[in-house]
Amino acid sequence: MAPTITAAMTNSQEHLTLNHKLRKPVVEKLRRERINSSIEQLNSLLGPEFLKQQPESKLEKADILEMTVCFLTKLQQQNQQQKKQLNRLKNPKACFDANEAEVYLSSSVQTKDEDPDPKVLWRPW
């Protein structure tokens, strides 16, 4: 004979299923509200940048997200360029390549008595 499921067990499962079915739309609605709120915040933060690119047009959510990615990518590239420039200012010798460093060192060691090598460029820095 096949085992039978008790009524208490069935009621418990039905209650969980019913609870899940009632809760799922509420959770989904909250998730969509969070997404929409974040997109609106992006739109307000980057609004002037968006207006430069597409004046007088209503932006879709996908447009806002794509333009935000583009803006952040440009910002990241600018940040990397600034870091490189700061590194150059902090360590100017690091800007020389090996050949320039050799020329720099050989020219700074030369004395007045020596004949300068015509192949070597003298640079004051």
| Tens of pLDDT, residues 54-79 | 667 778 899 889 989 998 999 999 99
Mean pLDDT of 79-103: 72
pLDDT for 86: 84
Q: Which comes out higher in pLDDT, residue 25 or 106?
A: 25
Q: Which comes out higher in pLDDT, residue 27 or 88?
A: 27
Each domain of the chain, given as residue ranges in start order, spans 92-125
CB 71 within 8 A of CB 45: no
Residues in the chain: 125
Average pLDDT over the chain, rounded to whole? 75
pLDDT at 26 over 50: yes
CA 94 to chain centre: 27
pLDDT at 16 over 90: no
pLDDT for 8: 47
pLDDT for 101: 57
Give the least confident one: 18-22, 53-57, 106-110: 106-110
Mean pLDDT of 16-45: 90
d(CA 27, CA 93): 59
pLDDT for 76: 95
